A and B are shown apart, each in its own frame.
Chain A
Amino acid sequence: MKFTTITRWEFKETLKSKKFLIIFCLQLSMLFLMIFVFNAFAANIQSDNGVSLTPSLSGFASLDIDDQGHLFTKYINPSLINIQSSNYNTALQNLNNGEITGFVQVPADSLNSIKNIDTINVKLYLDYSDPKRSVISDEVNSTTNILATSISNSWIDSLIPQNTTQIVVNQQSTGQSLQIQLLTNAMLAILLFLPLFFFGNLIIDSVVGEKEKKTGEILMAMPISPSQIILGKILAVEAIIALQIVLWMIILITMGFKFANPILIYILVTITALPIIGVTTIISAYSKNYKEAGIGITLSYIAVVGVLIIPALTYLSVKPLAANISPMTMVMRILSGETIPFWQYFIPIAFILLVSIITYWISIKLFERDDIFFGPRPGLIRLFLELISFKKIKKIR
């Protein structure tokens, strides 16, 4: 009996399960939701007001403005702030009642001041007992700067003769902005890697399920080694993940997302599943029941997500070579159309293979032990010492 037989069994059983198919379809529907959010987020951060990664809450803070010349009101951005026209007495009363966070008073003769080339003195009354004061202060300051530039330019146009020689300044920027990189490359890479974290339950069911359903004994009695059992189970899950990633990528491409070199991206994402399945198998092999395995996997996946995302985000800012150990960094670089030296592809692949070999070796060692499979389960420290061969391993066979 070969491990491929186990793979075939597991794969068929999984695809036959109606509940699995429902969950599989729900995961795909989640992708549609994410694409909707992705597009909404993209529209938001690439809006006319520039790139912003902060929440877009409307009416987050309130501001009263006394601006009879409608000079200030014309330039203020109301996306975060509720703005209402007011007068000094009402606004101060509102301010003291905590109904607003700030009040801007523009002098009534501001239009005359512009005509006479006089400075306009704008007053901002700011409620310091409100933590949102900096939101108001920031918005009023930037509006003041926009207004000042506009007035300066109009004065210059009227004062300076057209034939005056002017300094020419040519401003250029190189590279893609960090926020745009985050949006277009990092978020798309995260979407691609997401399915890898959906199938932890399949592995739990496949490994812990044997303990809970008491079918482990029958499996052990079969003419097949524990390493072949583990390999068979793992390959079945890998095949299902590979199938989900294909569907995931087809949906993304159909929805208008563009991938440079989709086959290479597919291979990188799919092989990244191997060490993740390995980590999940270790936890499943050690866990007594579904609940314990579920919590263990949730915690370990937080660490795995960190290992994938942190180097990728680091690469966006400082581009260290070491960041390439994360396959997500490599996928992000491919998505950005960067020219990547051929040898650099081996960095994430080597890391994936190394972690896969270690995790499978540990999984097989755990699976071979009768005390872990049938109890009483040894503690983690004792197990660690035994795994690095300070003590003898209790094998089933």
Chain B
Amino acid sequence: MKILTLAKKESQDILNNKIYILVIFVQLFLVLGAFGLAIISSIATDPALLDTYGITSHLNVGISENLNGSELSQDLKAQNFNIIYYNNTDKALKLLGSGLVAVVGISPEGEITVQTDNSNVFYPVVSQKINNAVNEFELTKKLEAAGLNQSEIHTIQNPVTLTEIKVNGNKTAPIALDSSYFVEIMYGFIVPFVLLLPFFMASNIVTDSVVGERERKTFEVLLMTPLSSSTVMIGKILPILFFSILQSMAWILLLDLLKVPIYNPIILFFILSFVGLGFIGVGIIISMLVDSTKEANSAITLALVFATFILFVPLFIKAPFFEGILNFIPTVLIVKLASTPIINSQLVLSSIPTILLSAGIFSLAVRYFRHERAIRL
């Protein structure tokens, strides 16, 4: 009952604080912005998606008039480029990078020259498509020169056929863009980032709450009440943890609406609750060590920067020696849990170090709190 009263007071403090509410909207903006950026960058790097959205047909490739009607121009058209024929090579080369993404010419000796603009935003796709067209052209010419018939040419050009067979087609996972890049960037970075954002905020709220009490000189009054240290701690952290989990839940629902399904939400919330306890624990320890909100802000910013490194850098580096350890990092766990419809027990067991570490940080925070209480009273 006493815990509930304290928790209710803390909840009211959180909900009455306009800045916290504003931060929720900032998070919403971040989630939608990150999703939008992932969509745009996925389309820009995927040849099939560029074709689907008709962007390739706006990419101009300049071809020498001498190649008009050639197999090479047909191959380039087959790649969906907009072909512009030119008479003057110098003029065409001047337009490379502004009006044209590539210039294809033929020398008097019959040598084909292809120049592409590397700095173009669509360069990876342009380069891939031009390579496909040129390879196709070279291969056909080689095979024609060898005097092979059309059937033999077809077999040599297509030595491997790939047939895709749908399994669980009736349970197709809805995904906003069926692109490898999109899935990797969303699940491999944005999902853990979005789910952990509220817990970064939680450590800030707890610091505000504890240091705020000290600055307002109400901390001693709270410590003098007939409440045990653990009751005070639970009363203070429960609403903050609940508030953070609620935000994470909201972002999961939003991602589901945006067609980025998040799997295993219950296990995720279980792990996130412990990660949250760890963050809150760090916030409490900092609150015990500093004298003012200003110091707390500086210290918590630095602590969160270091936490960001520990949590997110492993997602972007290749370190075969640390592979075993990397699998226990909360962000890696979140990636695997959120993207896998059916998980194995080994993955769940990998969360034990996170749970133990977070519980350890929180126990340390409780000890510090008791120590502070003993000193102050």
Partners in one complex: yes
**A interface residues, how many (CB within 8 angstroms):** 97
- Chain A neighbourhood of B137, CB < 8 A: 167, 169
Is A68's beta carbon under 8 Å from chain B? no
With the chains together, A354 CA to B63 CA distance in Å? 47
Decide: B19 and A292 in contact? CB cutoff 8 A.
yes
Known: A59-B336, A135-B183, A317-B120. 5 other contacts (CB 8 A): A30-B305, A51-B124, A54-B185, A59-B327, A148-B159
Q: Which residues of B251-268 have CB atoms within 8 Å of chain A's CB atoms?
A: 260-261
Of A44, A123, A166, A181, the contact of B141 (CB 8 Å cutoff)? A166
Q: Could you mark each residue 160-179 of chain A with 1 if its beta carbon is under 8 Å from any beta carbon of chain B, else 0?
A: 11001111111111111111
Decide: B180 and A58 in contact? CB cutoff 8 A.
no
Is B1's beta carbon under 8 Å from chain A? no
Q: How large is the interface on B (under 10, 10 to 19, 20 to 34, 35 or more residues)?
A: 35 or more
Decide: B293 and A289 in contact? CB cutoff 8 A.
yes
- Chain B neighbourhood of A178, CB < 8 A: 118-121, 123
Decide: B97 and A175 in contact? CB cutoff 8 A.
yes
Decide: A171 and B134 in contact? CB cutoff 8 A.
yes
Is A230's beta carbon under 8 Å from chain B? no
Of the stretches B222-230, B231-239, B314-322, B353-361, the one at the interface is: B314-322
Q: Which residues of A does B touch, CB under 8 Å?
A: 19, 23, 26-27, 30, 33, 37, 40-41, 43-44, 47, 51, 53-60, 79-80, 92, 95-99, 114, 117-135, 137-141, 144, 147-149, 151-152, 155-156, 159-161, 164-179, 181, 201, 204-205, 209, 289-292, 294-295, 299, 302, 316-318
- Chain B neighbourhood of A44, CB < 8 A: 316-318
Of A37, A168, A209, the contact of B309 (CB 8 Å cutoff)? A37
Q: Which residue of B lies closest to A110 (CB)?
A: B160
Q: Which residues of B does A touch, CB under 8 Å?
A: 19, 22-23, 26, 41, 96-97, 110-121, 123-124, 127, 130-131, 134-135, 137-139, 141-143, 145-146, 148, 152, 155-169, 171-173, 175, 178-185, 187-189, 208, 212, 260-261, 292-295, 297-298, 302, 305-306, 309, 313, 315-319, 323, 326-327, 332, 335-336, 339-342, 344
6 contacts between A and B (CB under 8 A): A37-B317, A135-B183, A160-B142, A160-B146, A169-B137, A174-B116
Of B119, B169, B172, the contact of A176 (CB 8 Å cutoff)? B119
Decide: A127 and B162 in contact? CB cutoff 8 A.
no
Decide: B163 and A117 in contact? CB cutoff 8 A.
no
Q: Which 9 A-B residue pairs are closest in the complex by CB-CB distance? A: A98-B342, A55-B188, A175-B119, A138-B180, A151-B159, A317-B121, A129-B168, A129-B171, A160-B146
Decide: B134 and A80 in contact? CB cutoff 8 A.
no
- Chain A neighbourhood of B306, CB < 8 A: 30, 33
- Chain B neighbourhood of A122, CB < 8 A: 160-163
With the chains together, A121 CA to B159 CA distance in Å? 9
Q: A128-B173, A152-B157 are in contact. Are A98 and B116 (CB under 8 A)?
A: no
Decide: B302 and A26 in contact? CB cutoff 8 A.
yes
Q: Could you tell me the distance in whole angstroms from the C-beta of B50 to the nearest C-beta in chain A? A: 15
Decide: A177 and B119 in contact? CB cutoff 8 A.
yes
Q: Which residue of A lies closest to B132 (CB)?
A: A145
Q: Could you tell me the distance in whole angstroms from the C-beta of A133 to the nearest C-beta in chain B? A: 7
With the chains together, A117 CA to B110 CA distance in Å? 31
- Chain A neighbourhood of B22, CB < 8 A: 295, 299
With the chains together, A209 CA to B297 CA distance in Å? 14
